[in-house]
Copies of this chain bind each other. A is one copy, B any other.
Amino acid sequence: MSETTPDASHAAHARDAADVKTWHREADVVVVGGGGAGVCAALEARDAGAEVLVLERAWKPGGTSAQASGQLYMGGGTPLQKACGFEDDPEEMYKYLVASCGPGADEEKIRVYCERSVEHYHWITGRGVPFKQTFLPVEVGTDPDTDDGLSYTGSELAYPFCEIAKPAPRGHTAQQEGENAGLMMMETLLAQLEPAGVSVQCDTICEPLISDHEGRVVGVVATVNGEEQCIRARRGVVLTAGGYIHNKAMLERYAPVTRRVRFRLGCDGDDGRGIRMGMGVGGDAIRMEAACIVVPFSRNRQFVKGVLVNAVGQRFCAEDLYQSLLGEIGMWREDGKIYLVLDDALYEQPQLPTEILAVGESFAELEAEAAIFPQGSLVHTLETYNRDAAAGADTLFHKDARWLDPLAKPPYVVLDLSLEKYPFWSAFTLGGLHTRPTGEVLDADGEVVPGLYAAGRNASGMPAHGYNSGLSLADATFSGRLAGVAAAAHTD
């Protein structure tokens, strides 16, 4: 049933303030959701002098940010970039993000973020989140289990982006060995809420919002232990309740392409409730079809030297594009049907957990055994690739020379990376409430919904059709901060 949400949620049916009999609790700023955006909104609102209450649905805050790998996309000349010997400036960062996050990238948000990214680095580190002052070389990969601070987490070095903007590594990973740097970052930030005087109430499911006769959001209905409470927000409500990757009905309605990706990245709370709460008071949800779709085939970086082909045996893009851009191209353009060709020199442990479609001592034998490509197509593709690689220039897609070796050591192999066979395709949603960089939520006419702010994946952030790792924590922490400031600033 696409018409009802799984949990019969009534997030979109706003409550009239005139119908509120008792206000159970109140604060200046009420933050719905204690993930990365929520905690940053709360800290900044509190710093601005507001009384702040964070309502968290789970038994403890953290959200999807606490499950993330702790990468923040930052740049423009951060101390970490400088310590590692990389030059960067806000303009190059801006040009890169606009080019890689579109069409539909929010240029205004990107502009503000690029101009303040260094300041944001200082804010994050000032809050106690450490970054080891070391660079992880691109040949090693993007998210191995090291504690290095800086790495490339996008397509900065790949064509055409390397010609559009001067490349610089901008993935800033909080210092923690293994993959739970996001948890460490969140625990560091969350630990500051109580000392700062921010109240956090867990096990509290919020929906819907409460608005007054003028359409101003003045609070939120919360359910605690099965009991309904009305929480008043004197200055504003900040929605930071995440995306909607775990709401199948919403995926079917808004993002049928993303819906096909089975491995969904997010915590249980990413059911779009916050987005629907905002819509219930007139908030406009935009770019709802947009998603980060990842096909992580290159964690073994050797594989970037392989050849990606589509269902008719053609190459379709440069293999050194970032894994999230490859995933989006693979789904929107190639319908999830993509294959990786390696030679014996590249085929080494650890292998990708997927089917071997074919093995052959020659390209012709490989194509014949694969039995899915038009006759001669794969052979032509590989011969062309080898000729280009030998000459040192990828004439089709300009893969960087560092990844360009002829496939010369038989046997050759075709790995099946199609959506049907390769289980590691993953996705999360990028669409959400339309906000100004300040976090003010806009309605379908482009006008502000008074009293309402949104941040993180509850809003549509910087990227639309295009993604770089670290942009979600960047959007969460930075847009959270701005929303907290804006909400606290309101006075009647």
Contact = CB atoms under 8 A, between A and B. Distances in A.
Interface of A: 1-5, 9-14, 16, 102-104, 213, 215, 249, 252-254, 256-257, 259-260, 275-276, 279-280, 282, 284-289, 312, 314, 332-333, 374-377, 380, 384, 395-397, 434, 436, 442-447, 464-465
Given A102-B256, A256-B465, A282 B443 contact: no
Nearest to A277: B444
A12 B443 contact: yes
B253 A286 contact: yes
A382 to B, nearest CB: 13
Contacts of A11: 444-445
A397 to B, nearest CB: 7
Nearest to A398: B374
A276 B2 CA distance: 22
**How many copies, total?**
2
* Chain B CB within 10 Å, residue with most, of A5, A256, A384: A256
A288 B460 CA distance: 14
Contacts of A9: 445
Contacts of A445: 4-5, 9-13, 276
Contacts of A312: 396-397
Contacts of A447: 3-4, 10, 12-13
Given A5-B446, A102-B256, A279-B444, 13 more contacts: A12-B284, A16-B213, A104-B252, A104-B257, A256-B464, A276-B444, A279-B279, A280-B282, A312-B396, A312-B397, A374-B396, A377-B384, A380-B380
Contacts of A13: 215, 282, 443, 445, 447
Given A13-B215, A284-B253, A4 B446 contact: yes
B396 A256 contact: no
A376 B391 CA distance: 14
Contacts of A289: 287-289
Contacts of A397: 312
Given A103-B257, A314-B314, A2 B280 contact: no
B332 A443 contact: no
A436 B1 CA distance: 12
Given A256-B465, A282-B13, A442 B3 contact: yes
A275 B445 CA distance: 10
21 contacts: A5-B446, A9-B445, A12-B284, A12-B447, A13-B282, A13-B443, A13-B445, A13-B447, A103-B260, A104-B252, A253-B284, A254-B287, A256-B465, A257-B465, A279-B282, A280-B443, A282-B282, A285-B444, A286-B288, A314-B314, A376-B384
Contacts of A375: 395
A384 to B, nearest CB: 7
Contacts of A282: 12-14, 279-280, 282
A289 B103 CA distance: 12
Contacts of A284: 12, 253, 279
A314 B2 CA distance: 39
Nearest to A272: B444
Nearest to A434: B253
A268 to B, nearest CB: 18
A377 B385 CA distance: 11
Contacts of A333: 332-333
A436 B16 CA distance: 27
Contacts of A286: 253-254, 288
A102 B375 CA distance: 29
Specify which of A5, A257, A445, A447 lies most central, judged by the most chain B CB atoms within 10 Å of its CB: A445
A40 to B, nearest CB: 24
Q: Top 7 nearest A-B pairs by Cβ distance?
A: A104-B256, A374-B395, A12-B444, A103-B256, A276-B444, A3-B446, A279-B444
Q: By CB atoms of chain B within 10 A, which of A288, A375, A377, A465 has the most?
A: A288
A113 B1 CA distance: 19
Contacts of A396: 312, 374, 377
A83 B303 CA distance: 60
Contacts of A102: 256
A451 B378 CA distance: 58
Nearest to A448: B3
A254 B442 CA distance: 14
Contacts of A5: 445-446
A395 B378 CA distance: 12
A1 to B, nearest CB: 8
A489 B73 CA distance: 55
B446 A249 contact: yes
Contacts of A280: 282, 443-444
